[in-house]
Amino acid sequence: MRIVTAAQMKQIEHNADAGGLSYLQMMENAGTVAYQIICAHQPDAHTFVIVAGKGNNGGDGFVIARLAAQDGFTVRVVLAEGEPVTADAKTNFHRLDQFNVTICAIEQMDRLTDADVVVDALYGTGFHGELRPAGEKACRLMNQSGAYIAALDLPSGIHADTGVVAQGAVCADLTVAFDSYKPLHVEENAKRYCGEIVCADIGIPEDCHNGIR
């Protein structure tokens, strides 16, 4: 089991990008493998709600939204804190224009209903501190949805390195960790919020991990 900190994961991704595997392709790979794992765990799911943040975790969620729409599923994307701000997340957000995906803002939502699967694509390894009001609402709606909750890399509201859980954090049924486990995945309290943890290969060559301690 390889466990890396958030900073180490950034270095691994930098190494991969320098070696020719672009950040955009890593996002595509992450979203694709997460979608495959979610479908394997919930083979009867037909309705997906992706709760997306404005960073790259949201971008991973947009990839899932596109793939689910391509497969003919009902897909809704909830923008928890507005439209994406990172380049690769923007690219995947705009790719949704070609598909039958409903986009709505968290301000329009009182509850998440009729979802078979809710994808937590809100906050990634950069989260620390307390949930902001919009993020707190998004996490609350996910937790109250009654749907199967799949978190991307980690449940939103948990510090990746320390495992400190913010009040209102998402309690997932499944967490798809990308490339490597993070410290929260093995911290006794934090891992209870992760549900089943699956570590997924996103195509980063093994030599990109050299020197990471």
Q: What is the spatial order of strands in the sheet that 101-105 belongs to?
A: 101-105, 74-79, 47-52, 117-121, 148-152, 174-178, 196-200
| CATH number of the domain bearing residue 84 | 3.40.50.10260
Tell me, yes or no, whether 66 lies in a domain: yes
Write out the residue range of the structural domain in which residue 86 sits: 21-205
Q: What is the pLDDT of residue 113?
A: 82
Tell me, yes or no, whether 10 lies in a domain: no
Q: Phi and psi dihedrals of 148, rounded to 5?
A: -75, 125
Q: What is the pLDDT of residue 210?
A: 87
Number of domains in the chain: 1
Verdict on whether the full-model pTM lies above 0.85: yes
Closest CA to 60 of 176, 199, 205: 176
* pLDDT per residue rounded down to tens, the chain (213 residues): 899 999 999 999 999 999 999 999 999 999 999 999 999 999 999 999 999 999 999 999 999 999 999 999 999 999 999 999 999 999 999 999 999 999 999 988 889 988 999 999 999 999 999 999 999 999 999 999 999 999 999 999 999 999 999 999 999 999 999 999 999 999 999 999 999 999 999 999 999 998 776
**Inter-residue contact 27 to 60 (CB < 8 Å):** yes
Q: What is the pLDDT of residue 37?
A: 98
Sequence-separated (6 or more) residues with CB below 8 Å from residue 98: none
Tell me, yes or no, whether 12 lies in a domain: no
Tell me, yes or no, whether 3 lies in a domain: no
Q: What is the pLDDT of residue 182?
A: 97
Q: What is the pLDDT of residue 213?
A: 63
Tell me, yes or no, whether 110 lies in a domain: yes
**Inter-residue contact 203 to 26 (CB < 8 Å):** yes
User: Which 8-state DSSP code applies to residue 119?
Assistant: E
Tell me, yes or no, whether 157 lies in a domain: yes
Tell me, yes or no, whether 213 lies in a domain: no
Sequence-separated (6 or more) residues with CB below 8 Å from residue 151: 119, 120, 170, 172, 174, 175, 176, 194, 195
Q: What is the pLDDT of residue 109?
A: 84
Tell me, yes or no, whether 6 lies in a domain: no
